[in-house]
Each structure stands twice: as structure tokens, then as C-alpha cells.
Amino acid sequence: MSVEKKTKIICTISDRNCSKEFIETLYKEGMNVVRINSAHATPEAALEIVKNCREVSDKIAILIDTKGPEIRTAPAVNGVGIKLKKGDSVQFIDDTTKESSRSGIYTNYRNFTKEIPVGAQILIDDGEFTLTVVEKGEGTVRAVAQNDGEIEGRKSINIPGVSTNLPSLSKKDRQYILWAIENKIEFIAHSFVRNKRDLIAIQKILDSHNSPIKLIAKIENSQGVENIDTILTHCYGVMIARGDLGVEIEYEKIPLIQREITHKCQERKKPVIIATQMLHSMIEHPRPTRAEVTDVANAIYQGTDAVMLSGETANGKYPVEAVKSLYRIAVETEKKLQPCYDIELQNVTHPIAAVLSRQLVNATKDINIEAIVFSSNTGRNGRYLSAFRPAVPIYAICYKKRVMRELALSFGIEAFYMEPISSKDAFVSNSIKKLFEENLIKGEQIVGVLGGSFGLDKEASFLEISSANLLAVSTKL
């Protein structure tokens, strides 16, 4: 049988529900990647999630978020939120050591009031509560509530159109990066990426430890959108995090931004993830809304590699049903997808691999190729092939288990591990036999093979198209 679902599914797992049995159930229903939110998990709890994932399958990739340069309200005195009516005023004060009360709101950023101009809007808790700055003092600003609401402790603060000089990495972020290195996590998704410097700061830490962890840039503010081209040069992939992005930027602009960034990622062979409120109603209800179904389908039509569940699987009432719903939507939507034969790949560093990938996908127009197989030591060939979105399944034969998991983010690829083979003939034969064993292809089917010869670190150098039966027989050229 062939792979039914090409769009990858990412599930956020919390320590409240991370048993081996739960993870295995989600995996069987179509989950490809587990996300750990470092803002809500201790290293000890996160380690339990990692351990259970590895026991379930060596194909599950793990992604951990950093907190990134984020501003939050300080804890409230006695945990009691500050209730305000529309028109009430309140002072924000620069002191990261104090708790908030009606006499003053404090934040985790010591230069908060210095960088906010009069007239700026302060949005609390993803825009649930809005205030407008009307006066500045020494280390203070006075703001007026624009609606009835409550300022609770540790809630997000957004200031649309205002750039801050927050450091890229907090102390906690650095601790989690080292934790990720130690525990061989596949991906770090850095929050609130503003420019390439935010990514370079993490990459320096990874390089100093010779870590192969791949960086995902979370785009959730206007600076990230404006600098997307240079950001793409310094990351493995992108997550379009629509929650904060929809607060920082006018919400009517989000669909176009999502489409444009998705297209740029596809041209650059970078996996792209669409995140936030994909099936938000399923936190409380067993079925998605019609609007949510359409949202997921549109993300797939636009060319996303993966869709992500957050609260739906972290603390929702119907996590398994949410994954099943994504699976069903993906399978149905993908029936109407057409290969991107004419897409122009950008920043191609291995032109032979890119040309051979394009030719193999183009060949599916004229030849009844029913599967594509490629060898990979780095995952590069897979990202080239995936960018063209062939209608047929893509099977990766990986020489490293880590690379097999990294490809869990790339559209349309199912990866398998195989011991390194230096012979071209042995690779072709053993790969086809592996797919026979997995019942993924049949002997009479036509298969296209893309691979490299004369050493595992060389780029793709040959393309072969034939029946699976003939390819399974090792022959000398």
C-alpha cells in the first residue's frame, strides 16, 4: 500500500498527559513530530516525554520551543489580577523585581517603558485586553484601558509596531538549549525571531557543542515578517505562529502573509509549519468547526509541510480525535493537489541534485511512476524532491536515524533507516527489497530512484527508472 497522508502532523505534548500509551496512540493515528513547550515544562518533565517518544518509535522527531524575546506581566500580588473598566488608567513601572497590583503593573523587561512611545497600544494576553499609552514619566508610562478586562500575572504583552531591544535568549532559553543538545533533540523552534541575529545566537551555542540540532524560526511579529528572506538563510525551517502574529499585525493581513511565507519556504526547500488554533474548538468539543476544517485545507493547498496542534493535544479533552481529524482533512485535501513542476528553487547549493530531482518529478507526468526512492545522508535530496510536491509517495532510505527523524517535517516523505552502503547497485537492490518488506510497492510497479554513488557524502549523481522487480536485482552497470 502507499502512504496515504503527505502533510505532517505535529502534536504538543505536556507532562500532564505524556504516557507511552498516549504517545503511541497519537503516532498510530498520524502524528509525526512531538512538540515540547519549554514555557510549560520543567527539564525533568520534558525528559519523560522524550524517553516515552523514543520507546514508541525511532521515527518520531522531537521539537522544543524556546521562550525567546517575549515580554510578560510580572506575577500579581497574591495571585489576584488587576481588574479595570474601560477608561480606567494604570501605571506601568520598570522594575523586574516587583509584583503587579492596582498601584503599578510590572513586567519581565527592565526597559519596558523606555521603549514605548505615547500613543502606542499595549495588548495583554494575546490582545484580550487593550490599553493606550497616554503619558510617559521617568521609568513609567500611564495607559488607559480601551475595554473592560483584567491584567493577570505572567500574561503575554504585545506592542504592535514597536521594536524592543530584548535579548534574543533568556537564561532559561540557554539552559533548555543545552538540555536539548544533551538529549539529542532534533529541532529547536526559537520564538519571536526578529532577524538573523536571533538565530545566530543559538547557532553559536550549537556549533560550540558540535550539535546537529536544526533551527526552526517562529515567525510571530512584524520584524520577523519583514526580515523573512535573511531569516530563511539561517534556519532549517519556519513555523508561522499565528497567535502572536495575529496580535502584532492586523488580522486581515495574516492569510496573505501565511501564503507568501509558505511559498518562500517551498522555493528555498525549507519545511514550513502552520501553527495556532488549527482545531482550537476541539479542546472542548469532539468535532472541528467547518471554518477550522477549511483553514487546515487551505494551509495544505498553500503548500505547508506540516500543521501543528497545541492545546488540542496538550490539555484538550479530545486529543486523539483532533489528530484523526487532521489526518482525514489532509488525505481528502491532498487528492486535489498538483505537483509543482514549474517552481523555481532558490539558493541551490547542489545543482545536480536539484536538476535530477526536478527531472524525476517531471517524469511522473509521462511515465506511470508509482513511487520515488532516494538515498540520503543529510536529507538534502528529500527536501529537493519534496519542494516539487510529486503526487506519488517519496521514500527516503537514510544512513542516519537522526536524518530519518528530521525528514518527519518534510511533506510527502516516509523515511527508513538502512546501514550505509557504498555500492550503487547494492543500495538500489536493498532499498527496493526494504519497500517490498514494508508492503509499500509491488513488483510490477514503476519506481524512480535518485541516489549518489562513490561515497555517502557526495551529492545525488544518478537517476534510474524501472520496474521494482528489475531494480530489486543487483546488476553491474
Residues 414, 419, 425, 431, CA torsion sign? negative
d(CA 421, CA 46): 36
d(CA 276, CA 244): 9
Domain boundaries, the chain: 8-69+168-334, 71-158, 351-471
- pLDDT of 206 > 70? The answer is yes
Residue with grid cell 517552481, as numbered in its chain? 343
* Cell numbers given for 77: 500580588
Number of Cβ atoms within 10 Å of the Cβ of 294: 13
26, 402 Cβ separation under 8 angstroms: no
Confidence of residue 425 (pLDDT cuts 50, 70, 90): confident
d(CA 55, CA 98): 44
Position 2 scores a pLDDT of 42
- Mean predicted confidence (pLDDT) in 262-289: 97
Q: Between residues 451 and 292, which one has the greater pLDDT?
A: 292
- pLDDT of 1 > 60? The answer is no
d(CA 176, CA 179): 5
Confidence of residue 41 (pLDDT cuts 50, 70, 90): confident
- pLDDT of 460 > 90? The answer is no
φ and ψ of 295, to 5 deg: -60, -45
pLDDT in tens, 76-110: 999 999 999 999 999 999 999 999 999 999 999 99
Q: Between residues 458 and 36, which one has the greater pLDDT?
A: 36
- Mean predicted confidence (pLDDT) in 305-329: 97
pLDDT in tens, 340-361: 999 999 988 889 989 999 999 9
Position 474 scores a pLDDT of 58
Taking the model in full, what pTM does it have? 0.92
Helices and strands: H and E segment counts in the chain: 16, 21
pLDDT, mean over the chain: 93
Record: fold of 8-69+168-334: TIM Barrel (3.20.20)
Q: Between residues 456 and 11, which one has the greater pLDDT?
A: 11
Among candidates 406, 352, 408, which has minimal Cα distance to 384? 352
- Mean predicted confidence (pLDDT) in 219-234: 96
- Mean predicted confidence (pLDDT) in 62-82: 93
In 287-411, the DSSP E strands lie at 306-309, 369-376, 394-398
Among candidates 259, 262, 232, which has minimal Cα distance to 387? 262
Position 70 scores a pLDDT of 86
Strand partners, 76: 100
φ and ψ of 255, to 5 deg: -60, -40
pLDDT in tens, 391-418: 999 999 999 999 999 999 999 999 999 9
pLDDT in tens, 139-184: 999 999 999 999 999 898 999 988 888 888 988 899 999 999 999 9
- Mean predicted confidence (pLDDT) in 109-127: 93
The secondary structure of residue 74, as a DSSP letter, is P
* Sequence letter at residue 365: K
Which CATH architecture group holds 71-158?
A: Beta Barrel (2.40)
* Cell numbers given for 110: 527592565
Query: Which superfamily, per CATH, for 351-471?
Result: Pyruvate kinase, C-terminal domain (3.40.1380.20)
Confidence of residue 477 (pLDDT cuts 50, 70, 90): very low
Among candidates 445, 438, 379, which has minimal Cα distance to 413? 379
Q: How far is CA 292 from CA 263, 332, 436, in A?
A: 21, 15, 38
d(CA 72, CA 51): 31
Quote the crossing angle between the two packed helices 254-267 and 290-302, to the nearest 10°: 30
**Which positions are annotated as active-site residues?**
35, 72, 218, 276
